[in-house]
Amino acid sequence: MNWPAPTLADVFKARRAIAPYLQRTPVLEPAGLASTLGCRAVLKCENLNPTGAFKVRGGVNLVASLDPEARARGVVAASTGNHGQSVAYAARLFATRAMIYMPEAANPLKVAATLALGAEVIQTGHDFDAARLAAEDYAARHQVRYIHSSNEPMLVAGVATAALELLEAVPELDVIFVPIGAGSGALAAGVVARAVNPAIRVIGVQAEGAPAVYRSWREGRRVVTERVATFAEGLATREPFDMPLALLPRLVDEIMLVDDNQLVDAIRLILETARQLVEGAGAAPVAAALARRDELAGKSVGLILSGGNITVDQLRRILNHERL
C-alpha cells in the first residue's frame, strides 16, 4: 500500500478537532537538565495529558472523525497501555464502546486506567504482537472498526499536534528526539518538522532490547524479532508496521538505540531536574540526548516526554537503584 503522509493542513485540522477536549501540554526548559546535557533542553510534557501519554491526541482525532454507524458498532484496539487508554478516552467522549486487547503481562497501572475509562479489557498473549493479532481477528469477525496503533493517518495527524505546539513555542529547535514504539510519534514529529523547517534533525529512539524498527530502518527491509527484552513497554514492539516502515526513511533523519540502564538513568534525571515523572518510553529522548551530549553542545534540543505511566513499584526500584 502507498501510505500518504499526513500534511501540515491535516495537523491543523486535527488541532481544531481535539481542541474542545484536550489542553496544550507544557513546554519546559529546566536549567539543571540543560546543564547536564550541555545544550538548550526543551521538554514537551506529553506525560501531563489526561491519559498520561501523547497518544490521546490521535485517539480523539480519529474517533471524532467516525460516522455515527461506525461509532454505534464500537471500536477495537491492541495496546501495551497508552494507545489503549487513548482509544478508551476518545470512545468515552463520543459514547462509543471500546474493546482493548492487552498482553497478559501488561502494566497493571495501564490496565486499571483503561478499565476506569470505561473500556472492556481483554488480556491475552505473551506480548503486544500476540494481543494485536487477537484484536485484529475479533474486529474482522465482528465488523468493528479496528484502530491500529500506527497505520492510521488520522491518528498520526492528531499525535502531530504535540510537535506543532513544541515548534510554535520554540521554532528555532535544531534537533527533536522522539521515542519509537509503534512509530506514530516519530512519524508525527517528522511530518511537522519537515513542513516547518526541514533543517531540523528528527531522531527516533528505540530500546536496545526491542530494535525491530531500528534494524528495519538500517537494513531497508522489514525485520521482525523473536522477542523483546525491555521494561519500557511503550517501546516493546517486535514487528515494524507498514505505515512507519514506508514513511520513516523520509521523515526521520536517524534512529538510535538506548539500553534499559540509560532509560533508568534518564527517568531519575528528569525527576531531579524537571520534577516530571515519566515512564521508560517517555525517558528515551533524554537518554538519547545524554548519549549524544558532545554532539549537542550549543544546540536547541526538543525532547518529547511521550508518557508518564510508570508503576509505583517500577519507580521505587529505580529510585532505590534496584534491578527492574
Which domains are present in the chain?
8-53+153-319 (3.40.50.1100), 56-146 (3.40.50.1100)
b/e code 125-145 from CB counts within 10 Å (16+ = b): bebbbbbbebbeebbeeeebb
Which helix or strand (DSSP H or E) is residue 27 part of? strand 27-28
Cell numbers linked to 104: 497478559
How confident is the model at residue 53, as a pLDDT? 96
Handedness of CA 71, 72, 76, 80 (dihedral sign): positive
Digitized pLDDT (tens) for each residue of the chain, 324 residues in all? 788 889 999 999 999 999 999 999 999 999 999 999 999 999 999 999 999 999 999 999 999 999 999 999 999 999 988 999 999 999 999 999 999 999 999 988 899 999 999 999 999 999 888 999 999 999 999 999 999 999 999 999 999 999 999 999 999 999 999 999 989 999 999 999 999 999 999 999 999 999 999 999 999 999 999 999 999 999 998 989 999 999 999 999 999 999 999 999 999 999 999 999 999 999 999 999 999 999 999 999 999 999 999 999 999 999 999 988
Q: How far, in Å, CA of 172 to CA of 112, rounded?
A: 40
Q: How far, in Å, CA of 41 to CA of 285, rounded?
A: 11
Q: How far, in Å, CA of 257 to CA of 307, rounded?
A: 18
How confident is the model at residue 153, as a pLDDT? 95
b/e code 293-321 from CB counts within 10 Å (16+ = b): eeebeebbbbbbbbbbbbeeebeeebeee
How confident is the model at residue 274, as a pLDDT? 98
How confident is the model at residue 10, as a pLDDT? 98
SS3 51: coil
How confident is the model at residue 107, as a pLDDT? 87
Strand 175-179 and strand 75-78: pairing? unpaired
Beta pairing partners, 257: 206
How confident is the model at residue 2, as a pLDDT? 82
Q: How far, in Å, CA of 318 to CA of 309, rounded?
A: 14
- CA angle, 261 as apex, 259 and 266 as ends, to 5°? 100
How confident is the model at residue 128, as a pLDDT? 87
